[in-house]
Amino acid sequence: MQIEQFYDTGLSHASYAIVSNNEMVLVDPARDPEPYLAFARENHAKIIGIIETHPHADFVSSHLELHKRTGAAIYTSKLVEADYPHQSFDENDVIEIGSHTLKALNTPGHSPDSICVLLSDQTGKELALFTGDTLFVGDVGRPDLRENVGNVKAKATELAKAMYHTLHSKIMKLPADVVVYPAHGPGSLCGRSMSKELQSTIGKELKENPVLRPMEESEFVELLMDDQPFIPKYFVHDVAINRSGADDLEASLAHIIRIVESEIENTTALLIDTRPAHVFRAGHYPHAINIPDGNKFETWVGSIVGPGESFYLIVAEERNADGLLRKLAKIGYESQCKGYLTSTESSNVSPAFDLSFFKENETDFTIIDIRNDSELKKGKLFKEAIHIPLPRLRESLQAIPEEKPIVVHCAGGYRSAIGSSIIAARVAVPVYDLSTAVHEFEK
């Protein structure tokens, strides 16, 4: 028996292939089916099943495309009421795979339709638990993503209570040596404070996971509801896609072609410039938003751009385009991209920032703090700063006064590049990016 973990650092997403006697079952596959198909070929295994632990909010799954290409059945809870061909996989339902079995456990909490998958050998010994977004290493899934999403609507507090009972009545009662394989690692917005390890055991989590320490339900609910990260705009969109099944990846990407500058001269669509911040500042299209290509590019696009909102991509070079389009596809945004173009020389240059003058004359500027709410709780870096978290910035521009030049800061420099470009595209006064110089103001 073999368990292979596939990990996407951009979305902090883990998916799995389980192989026994040349039969393979996949759990929570990512948008691109090719890595799983290649792994099956390399191991001379036949894909006989694809399991969805729930309709994911943070990425688009390839379950439907894999079904069409392999004939393997898709298994998910009947509570999902999925629109794609599937077999219900609920409490004590079993999939035989080689000399092993996979058993479903209904585990509401992160979502009302979540399941975990328990792997056992032919003797009945329980070996591993594929926990989806229910249990992470060092954390559990947040309960507030499905309050008004999908066919089952559940309030966050009710899901937090359900999570408490899921953990205490099912997961925490499993043998200590059962290996835990979660769907996410640190950096995922489906949880709050995950450990850097990408697998664990039930016993280790009982000892080290702060959310599993002994406590009453009321304390657990309060703990789980407190300080959860923001919810990106694309999450609702992806739940709907995953309930229906996504279009085939390559076919969906095929319509996105390179265009020329004249095609965007009069466009009302959003322009997303993916070049590094210093390149963007040296010259860019008027009204373009700078979201530099990076490890979390797709998360920030999906946090700033709404589902259904059309946009063009501006890329540094032709060779950058394919990777960026595939990142968009991971969150189901490729259909919103009307085309891409390589950047050309532009006279629209961002104003140079005089850091020394700013240090001596802070009150001459309006300072915009675009860190998250949880970061603000640790304290302001500038006493008079106006706090508007980056995911809410485009909708809150009217709250920014224009009497003074504007300085934008985050915690490290990446987000301030995005935020300053958003503001600069809509105001008449100069807008400056504090960038990495923010570290000079840390207390």
* CA 103 – CA 25 distance, rounded (Å): 12
Quick one: pLDDT band at residue 348, thresholds 50, 70, 90?
Answer: confident
Query: Does pLDDT of 5 surpass 70?
Result: yes
Q: Minimum mean pLDDT among 131-135, 327-331, 439-443: which range?
A: 439-443
Say how many C-beta atoms besides its own lie within 10 A of residue 400's C-beta: 18
* CA 403 vs CA 352, 428, 431: distances in Å: 19, 10, 12
Q: Which secondary-structure segment (H or E) carries 408? A: strand 406-409
pLDDT for the residue numbered 338 = 96
What is the reported pLDDT for 15? Answer: 98
For residue 387, the model assigns a pLDDT of 97
Calculate the dihedral angle through the C-alpha atoms of 365, 370, 374, 376, rounding to the nearest 10 degrees: 0
The pair phi, psi for residue 75, each rounded to 5°, is: -115, 130
Q: What is the pTM of this model?
A: 0.94
CA atoms within 13 A on the CB side of 57: 27
What is the predicted pLDDT for the residue at 376? Answer: 92
147-160 per-position pLDDT tens digit: 666 566 568 999 99
pLDDT at 30 over 80: yes
Quote the distance between the C-alpha of residue 29 and its chain's center: 14
Question: What's the mean per-residue pLDDT of the chain?
Answer: 95
Residue 146 above 80 pLDDT? Answer: no
Cα–Cα dist 360/308, whole Å: 45
pLDDT at residue 347 in the model: 72
Given this model, what pLDDT does residue 175 score? Answer: 98
Residues near 362 by beta carbon (within 8 Å), at least 6 away in sequence = 382, 384
Query: What percent of the chain has pLDDT above 90?
Result: 91
Query: Across residues 68-85, what is the average pLDDT?
Result: 98
Under DSSP, the state recorded for 438 is G
Contact 146, 112 (CB under 8 A): yes
**H or E, element range at 66:** helix 63-70
Residue type, 307: P
Helix (H, G, I), strand (E, B) or coil at 389: coil
Band the pLDDT of 286: cuts 50, 70, 90.
confident
Render pLDDT for 373-400 as a digit per residue (tens, 0 to 9). Answer: 989 988 999 999 999 999 999 999 999 9
H/E stretch holding 279 reads helix 277-282
| Other beta carbons less than 10 A from residue 176's beta carbon | 11
Q: Which helix (H) or strand (E) holds 166?
A: helix 156-169
Q: At residue 86, does pLDDT exceed 90?
A: yes
Is residue 441's pLDDT more than 90? yes
Mind listing the pLDDT tens digit for each residue in 181-227? Answer: 999 999 999 988 899 999 999 999 999 999 999 999 999 999 999 88
Q: pLDDT value at position 151? A: 62
Nearest in space to 328 (alpha carbons), one of 24, 29, 32: 32
